[in-house]
Chains A and B, each alone.
Chain A
Amino acid sequence: AQSVTQLDSHVSVSEGTPVLLRCNYSSSYSPSLFWYVQHPNKGLQLLLKYTSAATLVKGINGFEAEFKKSETSFHLTKPSAHMSDAAEYFCVVSGAGGTSYGKLTFGQGTILTVHP
């Protein structure tokens, strides 16, 4: 079985300050991990993915995430927030093999608000 927990339902930052969105996962298999972003009334866009290569993953728009197996975490960071980063962010886990094959499990989402 696999699951993912996003530790904050809402995060609020000022423009130009760092962003940290926290995610912990549980997976019976070697997981693939993703962060997706959803802007209001839009579809989901892939920000970055971890698939057992480098533990520090760089994504689009200046975001990056670090896979820490010992902490079962995959937190998303950005050094400097921009107004356009305001959106909902989903941490996602995908297993390999068994009943998890091809199935993404989503966290509950974190709404990021960016203040001027």
Chain B
Amino acid sequence: NAGVMQNPRHLVRRRGQEARLRCSPMKGHSHVYWYRQLPEEGLKFMVYLQKENIIDESGMPKERFSAEFPKEGPSILRIQQVVRGDSAAYFCASSPPEGYNEQFFGPGTRLTVL
């Protein structure tokens, strides 16, 4: 059973460009979570999604950030008009419906904004 997959593993963008981060949950998992790890800071929750629904987006910045988890395909975290402060490691986690509080993490995408 393949684990949580994230791609790309490393992403370089110039200021003002868009970044798209993808996450494929483990097989059978219908819940997806995104976390951000900023330099010198801990991991912070961003958003919790189920298929076609955003359950909790209390950790998402109000502007430029959006997330989706469509019926088919991976979950996408989209950052528009990136700024240097967006440089961070972005981790995706997934969980099965019955074990929502045990989350399995992917390897992360490291975003660098030049």
Report the contact-size class of chain B (Cβ under 8 Å from the partner).
20 to 34
**Which of B42, B44, B95, B102 is the most central at the interface, judged by chain A CB atoms within 10 Å of its CB?**
B42
B56 & A102 in contact (Cβ 8 Å cutoff): yes
A90 to B45, CA, bound (A): 14
Contact of A104 among B45, B55, B108 (CB under 8 A): B45
Flag if A99 contacts B42 (CB, 8 Å). Answer: no
Q: Mark B16-44, 1 if CB is under 8 A from A, else 0.
A: 00000000000000010101000000111
Contact B105 A102 (CB under 8 A): no
* Alpha-carbon separation in the docked complex, A108 to B42 (Å): 5
Is there contact, CB below 8 Å, between B42 and A104?
Answer: no
Interface residue A82 (Cβ < 8 Å from any Cβ of B)? no
Q: Does B65 contact A (CB under 8 A)?
A: no
Interface of B is mostly: strand
Which of A14-22, A39-47, A60-68 sits within the interface? A39-47
Would A45 and B105 count as touching, CB distance under 8 A? yes
Smallest CB separation, A107 vs chain B (Å): 7
* B91 contacts chain A at the CB level, 8 A cutoff: yes
A42-B108, A43-B4, A104-B103 known, 20 other contacts, Cβ within 8 Å: A32-B101, A36-B105, A41-B110, A44-B91, A45-B105, A49-B102, A94-B101, A99-B56, A101-B56, A102-B55, A102-B56, A102-B100, A103-B33, A103-B48, A103-B56, A103-B58, A103-B59, A104-B33, A106-B43, A106-B44
Q: Could you tell me which B residues sit within 8 Å of A by CB distance? A: 4, 31, 33, 35, 42-45, 48, 55-56, 58-59, 91, 93, 95, 100-108, 110
- Residues of A at the B interface (CB closer than 8 Å) are 32, 34, 36, 41-46, 49, 51, 90, 94, 96, 99, 101-109
